[in-house]
């Protein structure tokens, strides 16, 4: 049976107490979930949430990490520190990092390589803005983000990576790409992956969709042949919405 990867990006929400309460509720709600599920609380809540999810089927993720392993990098959090807390996955190149914090493909690629080296599983986010889509440059933008993000990633390392296609105009806006539109971009990402790693690797790659995924649109999105999971923002903040998303096949 096909398996899906559903990840919750909590962004800059939840104090430690709130994060623990949500994680506890999700542990109960998703105890028999069929999918691979990851939650990414803010850095400040990782240690406490790690205790809650230990020994459960919920995986712990971080929303970002520094591009260096250690040293004089004020305000950064390193892969070593994340691993030490029991983090197994890390979201990299989210559009908010790209646009609000000016992270470019080269920096994101350094983080991807470092995460892999340190045994963390990256979710590499890619996606076009509305202007780029309307200017007809969707494929060149997304293609470049995939190629540059994966630069120097070996074929052996590829299975540890997930790609999340998140059209920027659909994030937090309530606008979702139609399932067919999203699937077409996922299919294009597989074409790019095939040119880099061959057909088999491209077929096996997990490609999540992100951008206003909700309980009422998740099933139709997941039914598309090239959509293998979801990266969820707003709807990941409540058990009442993330529960049914992750349990969409229950
Ligand atoms: P959203 O966010 O679900 O609130 O649109 C998705 C994301 O930014 O990963």
Q: What mean pLDDT do residues 221-232 have?
A: 97
From 128, 132, 166, 186, active-site residue:
166
**Residue 60: pLDDT above 80?**
yes
Q: Which of 5, 6, 7, 9 to mutate to test the pocket of ligand 1 (most atoms within 8 A of CB)?
A: 9
pLDDT of residue 172: 85
Tokens of 151: 């630069």
Q: What percent of the chain has pLDDT over 90?
A: 95
pLDDT of residue 138: 96
pLDDT of residue 35: 97
Distance 246 CA to ligand 1 centre (A): 15
Task: Supply the angle between the helices 138-149 and 105-117 in degrees, to the nearest 10.
Answer: 40
DSSP the chain: ----EEEEE--S---HHHHHHHHHHHHHHTTT-SSEEEEE--HHHHHHHHHHHTTSSEEEEES---SSSSSS-TT---HHHHHHTT--EEEES-HHHHHHS---HHHHHHHHHHHHHTT-EEEEEE---HHHHHTT-HHHHHHHHHHHHTTT--TTTGGG-EEEE--GGGTTSS----HHHHHHHHHHHHHHHHHHH-HHHHHH-EEEEESS--TTTHHHHHTSTT--EEEESGGGG-HHHHHHHHTTT-
pLDDT of residue 21: 98
Note if 186 is an active site residue. Answer: no
Q: Which atom of ligand 1 is nearest to the CA of 211?
A: 5
Closest Cα to atom 3 of ligand 1:
233
Please indicate whether residue 232, judged by its CB atom, sits closer than 6 Å to ligand 1.
Answer: yes
139: containing domain:
5-246
**Residue 250: pLDDT above 90?**
no
Task: Label residue 173 by pLDDT band (50, 70, 90).
Answer: confident
pLDDT of residue 174: 84
Please indicate whether residue 93, judged by its CB atom, sits closer than 6 Å to ligand 1.
Answer: no
pLDDT of residue 218: 97
In tens, the pLDDT along 111-170 reads 999 999 999 999 999 999 999 999 999 999 999 999 999 999 999 999 999 999 999 989
Q: What mean pLDDT do residues 86-96 have?
A: 98
**How many domains does the chain fold into?**
1
**Residue 171: pLDDT above 90?**
no
pLDDT of residue 150: 98
pLDDT of residue 81: 98
Task: Label residue 22 by pLDDT band (50, 70, 90).
Answer: very high
Note if 94 is an active site residue. Answer: yes
Q: Which atom of ligand 1 is nearest to the CA of 91?
A: 9
Tokens of 126: 């890619």
Please indicate whether residue 212, judged by its CB atom, sits closer than 6 Å to ligand 1.
Answer: yes
The CATH number of the domain holding residue 138 is 3.20.20.70
């Amino acid at each position: 049976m096909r398996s899906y990867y559903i990840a919750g990006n909590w962004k800059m929400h939840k104090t430690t107490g709130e994060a623990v309460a949500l994680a506890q509720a999700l542990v109960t709600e998703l105890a028999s979930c069929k999918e691979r599920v990851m939650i990414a609380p803010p850095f400040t809540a990782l240690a406490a949430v790690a205790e809650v999810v230990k020994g459960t089927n919920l995986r712990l993720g971080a929303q970002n990490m520094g591009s260096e392993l250690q040293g004089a990098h004020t305000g950064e959090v390193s892969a070593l520190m994340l691993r030490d807390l029991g983090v197994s996955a890390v979201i990299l190149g989210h559009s908010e990092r790209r646009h609000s914090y000016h992270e470019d493909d080269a920096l994101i690629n350094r983080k991807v390589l470092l995460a892999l080296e340190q045994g963390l599983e990256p979710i590499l986010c890619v996606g076009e803005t509305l202007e780029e889509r309307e200017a007809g440059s969707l494929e060149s933008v997304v293609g470049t983000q995939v190629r540059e993000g994966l630069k120097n990633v070996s074929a052996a390392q590829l299975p540890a990576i997930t790609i999340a296609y998140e059209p920027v105009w659909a994030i937090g806006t309530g606008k979702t790409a139609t399932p067919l539109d999203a699937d077409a971009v996922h299919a294009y990402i597989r074409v790019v992956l095939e040119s880099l790693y061959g057909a088999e690797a491209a077929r096996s790659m997990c490609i999540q969709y992100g951008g206003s995924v909700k309980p009422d649109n998740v099933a139709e999105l997941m039914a598309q042949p090239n959509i293998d999971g979801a990266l969820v923002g707003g709807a990941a903040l409540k058990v009442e919405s993330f529960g049914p998303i992750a349990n969409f096949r229950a």
